[in-house]
């Protein structure tokens, strides 16, 4: 933003408009476009990423369509909304559900990266784990839930070091990370979760293949504010690779919770952030659940599941020969 806008950080009278009377820095715009064209032409496969906090359009769109030509753009709005939402006591989250759904209104306007960067764990902002409300168990559960939602949300992922095992202290460039925390089970469990999320992310095309278009995402239900639950489908190019995702943002387990699904069959539980290996209560669905012929949420079939406290569930329909 400091490059793109002539009035950035300046008061009225401290800047001169461009030749068209606007506040856009046309020289900087031309420079960034040429830079990205050269990088992508001379170094195929190279990635350029913009940390841009304004609504400048087309940051990650090709220059030949009028964009700046970056490969990706940090999704600063998603990051701010998520961290604000998760700092609410769960009893009040029903009044703030828009913070976890608003990002889908613009999620496909850029090639976004969901960034939880060093900027969020310095200068008195506290670490991700320390931002979470509740007792120690709930803090870890909230962070596992956040990571589960992040990995299943459209957009590429970026997690700053230390977040993968739950640092208690802010990042300090003069010291090492607190690796000794991995000797304690809650931190080791969080590390296992990140390991499994990375593995599943690589294995499941629905989680990465169609990140920047509506065809890769479908809401099941975003309106259950009373229970602070959302459910959605991530899709790959192949219709057989879809994943059903459900998040419970409260510490209250939801038993017999019905979620609409598009197809009949047995849905295997790919991931449950409440699993005992991650430090959770080990509440779940016994490895999977069968869909019934009961329509729900505008879909022809439905699952009746247990949503563990403060958890993300990922479920995938299994082919007949694999059940």
Residue with tokens 């999320």: 197
Residues 189, 220: one domain? no
Residue with tokens 């099941």: 220
Per-residue pLDDT tens for 32-62?
A: 999 999 999 999 999 999 998 888 999 999 9
CATH number (domain holding residue 126)? 3.20.20.80
Does residue 90 sit within a domain?
yes
Residue with tokens 């906090």: 53
Residues 78, 111: one domain? yes
Provide the pLDDT confidence category of residue 1 given band limits of 50, 70 and 90. Answer: confident
Does residue 230 sit within a domain?
yes
Residues 91, 188: one domain? yes
Give, in degrees to the nearest 5, the angle at Cα 249 between 233 and 223.
Answer: 55
Query: What angle in degrees, to the nearest 10, is found between the helix axes of 185-203 and 136-152?
Result: 10
Does residue 107 sit within a domain?
yes
Does residue 164 sit within a domain?
yes
Residues 102, 186: one domain? yes
286 sits in the region (left: phi over 0; alpha: psi -120 to 50; else beta) called left
pLDDT at site 323 = 52
pLDDT at site 83 = 97
Provide the pLDDT confidence category of residue 312 given band limits of 50, 70 and 90. Answer: very high
Residues 163, 222: one domain? no
Residues 298, 199: one domain? no
Residues 129, 223: one domain? no
Average of per-residue pLDDT across 222-244? 96
Does residue 317 sit within a domain?
yes
Provide the pLDDT confidence category of residue 259 given band limits of 50, 70 and 90. Answer: very high
pLDDT at site 53 = 86
pLDDT at site 141 = 98
Residues 232, 291: one domain? yes
Please, where are the H alpha helices in the chain?
26-42, 76-86, 98-101, 128-131, 136-152, 185-203
CATH number (domain holding residue 278)? 2.60.40.1180
Residues 151, 241: one domain? no
Max Cα-Cα span within the chain? 72
C-alpha pair distances (Å), 62 with each of 42, 54, 58 = 16, 18, 8
Q: Strand, coil or helix: what is 289?
A: strand
Query: Quick one: DSSP state of residue 159?
Result: E
Distance, in Å, from the CA atom of 132 to the CA atom of 167, rounded to the nearest integer, reads 12
Examine the fold and report which residue of 177, 207, 237 is the final residue of a domain before the chain moves on.
207
Chain-wide mean pLDDT for the chain? 96
Residue 144 predicted with pLDDT over 70:
yes
Per-residue pLDDT tens for 172-195?
A: 999 999 999 999 999 999 999 999
pLDDT at site 71 = 98
Residues 78, 187: one domain? yes
Examine the fold and report which residue of 156, 172, 207 is the final residue of a domain before the chain moves on.
207
Q: What is the 3-state secondary structure (H, E, C) of 110-148?
A: CCEEEEECHHHHCCCCCCHHHHCCCCHHHHHHHHHHHHH
Distance, in Å, from the CA atom of 304 to the CA atom of 195, rounded to the nearest integer, reads 28
Residues 87, 168: one domain? yes
pLDDT at site 54 = 87
Supply the pTM of this predicted model.
0.94
Does residue 122 sit within a domain?
yes
Distance, in Å, from the CA atom of 35 to the CA atom of 81, rounded to the nearest integer, reads 31
Examine the fold and report which residue of 207, 232, 259 is the final residue of a domain before the chain moves on.
207
Task: Please state the domain count of the chain.
Answer: 2
> In which domain, by residue range, is 222 found?
215-322
Residues 229, 310: one domain? yes
Does residue 7 sit within a domain?
no
Does residue 255 sit within a domain?
yes
Distance, in Å, from the CA atom of 255 to the CA atom of 304, rounded to the nearest integer, reads 8
Chain mean position to CA 146: 8
């Amino acid at each position: 933003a400091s490059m793109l806008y002539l009035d950035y950080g300046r008061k009225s009278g401290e800047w001169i408009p461009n030749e068209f009377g606007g506040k856009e820095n046309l020289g900087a715009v031309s420079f960034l476009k040429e830079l990205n064209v050269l990088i992508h032409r001379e170094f195929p496969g190279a990635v350029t990423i913009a940390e841009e906090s304004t609504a400048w359009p087309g940051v990650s769109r090709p220059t030949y369509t009028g964009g700046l030509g970056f490969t990706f753009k940090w999704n600063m709005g998603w990051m701010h909304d998520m961290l604000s939402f998760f700092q609410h006591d769960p009893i009040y989250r029903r009044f703030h559900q828009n913070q976890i759904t608003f990002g889908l209104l613009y999620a496909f306007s850029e090639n976004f990266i969901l960034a939880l960067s060093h900027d969020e764990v310095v200068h008195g902002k506290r670490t991700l784990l320390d931002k979470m409300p509740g007792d120690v168990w709930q803090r870890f559960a909230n962070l596992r839930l956040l990571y589960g939602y992040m990995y299943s949300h459209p957009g590429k992922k970026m997690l700053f070091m230390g977040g993968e095992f739950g640092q208690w202290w802010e990042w300090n460039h003069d010291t090492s990370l607190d690796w000794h925390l991995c000797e304690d089970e809650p931190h080791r469990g969080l590390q296992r979760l990140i390991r499994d999320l990375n593995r599943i992310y690589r294995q499941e095309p629905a989680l990465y293949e169609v990140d920047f278009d509506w065809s890769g995402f479908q809401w099941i239900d975003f309106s259950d504010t009373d229970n602070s639950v959302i459910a959605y489908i991530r899709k790959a190019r192949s219709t057989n690779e879809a994943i059903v995702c459900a998040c419970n943002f409260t510490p209250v387990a939801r038993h017999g919770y019905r979620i609409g699904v598009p197809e009949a069959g047995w849905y295997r539980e790919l991931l449950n952030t409440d699993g005992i290996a991650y430090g959770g209560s080990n509440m779940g669905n016994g490895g999977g659940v069968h869909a019934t012929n009961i329509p729900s949420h505008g879909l022809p079939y439905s699952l009746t599941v247990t949503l563990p406290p403060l958890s993300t569930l990922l479920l995938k329909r299994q082919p007949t020969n694999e059940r």
